[in-house]
Every structure is written in C-alpha cells, then in structure tokens.
C-alpha cells in the first residue's frame, strides 16, 4: 500500500527532527512536500480506497474472519485519510504561507498538532496495511 508507505516515510523523515526546524525552515520544507505530494497522494489515496473496497465487495467468503479484517483495514485507512484531509491539510495550507514577517504566534502549537496527528495517521495506515495483508499470509 503506497499510501501507508508515504505516511511512514514522512514519519521517518521528519519525526526525529521536526522540533529542530524554525518556522521559516518548516514553511520551506512544507512547501516542497506539499508541492510534491498533494496531487499524487489525492489520486493514489482514492485509487487505494477504491481497490480495497472492490477487494472486499468481490471477496468470495464473506462469513470468515479474513473478510472482517479487510473491512477493518479499509476503515483504518479511511480514518488516516480523514485525519489527513480534516486536520493536516489545513495546517499545511497555513504553514506554506509563512514568511519571516507573518509567522503566527502559535506556530509551535500548530507544528506539534501536525506532528501528533502525523503519528496517529501513520499508526492507522500501518495497522491497515498489516490487517489487509493478514488474510494473504
């Protein structure tokens, strides 16, 4: 699941150093990441949910545990995507506009909120991946 990989990659790339960036450094990093990921992730995420949903719809035995694990997996990735669109994207939209002159007083609070929800969505995505792969293993 590419969606899980992107979330996991952002977590690994930023989690240990996120607190070290100044507001303007954070804005520059966010601008680059958003420019690189916004459109591709929107398309990949929709494709991922669609394929997972189709896998569930066409799963032959809807009475066994694997079917319910796959449904749980879909719900987890949808939860991760809801966090992304409802919490993280709005923060990203603010951060990319920051310059030395207009950094908000609460920028560290916004950074901490983004980082917290990045961890939550990464955990949800990883659990989704594990659960979706479990019936195959």
Q: pLDDT (tens digit, 9 = 90+) per residue, 79-88?
A: 999 999 999 9
* Residue-wise pLDDT tens digits, 48-95: 999 999 999 999 988 999 999 999 999 999 999 999 999 999 999 999
User: DSSP assignment, residue 87?
Assistant: I
Yes or no: say if 41 and 6 are a contact pair by the CB < 8 Å rule. Answer: yes
Domains of the chain, by residue range, sit at 2-133
Q: pTM for this structure? A: 0.89
CA distance 132 to 12: 22
Whole-number mean pLDDT of the chain? 92
Burial bucket for residue 24 (CB in 10 Å: 0-12, 13-18, 19+): middle
| CA gap 72, 123 in Å, rounded | 14
Token pair of 92 as six digits = 């990203």
């Amino acid at each position: 699941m590419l969606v899980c990989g992107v979330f996991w990659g952002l977590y690994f790339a930023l989690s240990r150093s996120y607190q070290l960036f100044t507001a303007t450094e954070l804005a520059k990093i966010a601008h680059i990441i958003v420019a690189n990921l916004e459109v591709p992730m929107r398309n990949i995420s929709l494709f991922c949910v669609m394929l997972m949903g189709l896998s569930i719809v066409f799963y032959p035995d809807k009475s066994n545990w694997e079917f319910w694990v796959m449904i749980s997996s879909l719900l987890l990735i949808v939860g991760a995507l809801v966090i992304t669109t409802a919490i993280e994207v709005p923060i990203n939209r603010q951060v990319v506009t920051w310059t030395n002159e207009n950094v908000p007083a609460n920028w560290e609070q916004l950074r901490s909120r983004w980082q917290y929800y990045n961890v939550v969505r990464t955990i949800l995505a990883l659990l989704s991946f594990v659960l979706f792969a479990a019936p195959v293993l």
